[in-house]
Chains A and B, each alone.
Chain A
Amino acid sequence: DTAVSQTPKYLVTQMGNDKSIKCEQNLGHDTMYWYKQDSKKFLKIMFSYNNKELIINETVPNRFSPKSPDKAHLNLHINSLELGDSAVYFCASSPGTSGHLEEFFGPGTRLTVL
């Protein structure tokens, strides 16, 4: 059983389009995250959700909007895609928001904007 799953694995789209990436975790974790990994492999947190509530939103353009329909899902919707949005997006989850907890990562979604 996959602990953290993401769909799609690959996404190729044109500039200006709107797209969504879905994430689901079956670990019963309270907290879910979205990370962006750029072409230089640098990982940066975008959003953190705890029990369906946004608890952190780093400096991310408001074209990016996370949606958490329930504790097990955290989807990422991106409006008006730009070339610079091309990256690998990782979803992750952890049991809570405090320290002493590791994060479990999904397989990633490689987004290419043409």
Chain B
Amino acid sequence: AQSVSQHNHHVILSEAASLELGCNYSYGGTVNLFWYVQYPGQHLQLLLKYFSGDPLVKGIKGFEAEFIKSKFSFNLRKPSVQWSDTAEYFCAVNSYGQNFVFGPGTRLSVLP
């Protein structure tokens, strides 16, 4: 069965700092990878996704993620965070015929 881990439970940054959130998955076959964001009190929104092609994926709001197949990783990055990026971030994986598996989430707090 697939599993998804996220390295950091809670990350605290100052505005303008760079961000990298780790995500690793356990499935060895072909996977599709996603990052979702959940702002306080809101539903999940898709930030970016990787299906195939260029392993460096650009998403909304200046986020990007890099798929490294050899490391089973799909880390999320942003060069300069803003206070409005404060949210919970979820990495998710699915593959053919399988349901989504979400990671446990990483809470990002950005201090103004």
Contacts and interface: CB of A to CB of B under 8 A. Distances in A.
A43 to B, nearest CB: 4
A98 B97 contact: yes
Interface in A6-60: 33, 40-45, 48, 56
A35 to B, nearest CB: 8
Interface in B21-67: 30-32, 34, 36, 38, 42-46, 49, 51
Contacts, number: 52
B96 A99 contact: yes
A106 interface: yes
Interface stretch (B12-20, B70-78, B101-109): B101-109
11 contacts: A41-B38, A41-B88, A41-B104, A43-B105, A45-B100, A99-B94, A100-B51, A102-B34, A106-B43, A107-B43, A108-B43
Given A99-B94, A101-B94, A107-B43, 17 more contacts: A33-B100, A41-B38, A41-B88, A41-B104, A42-B102, A43-B44, A44-B102, A45-B100, A90-B43, A90-B44, A97-B97, A99-B31, A99-B51, A100-B51, A102-B46, A105-B43, A105-B44
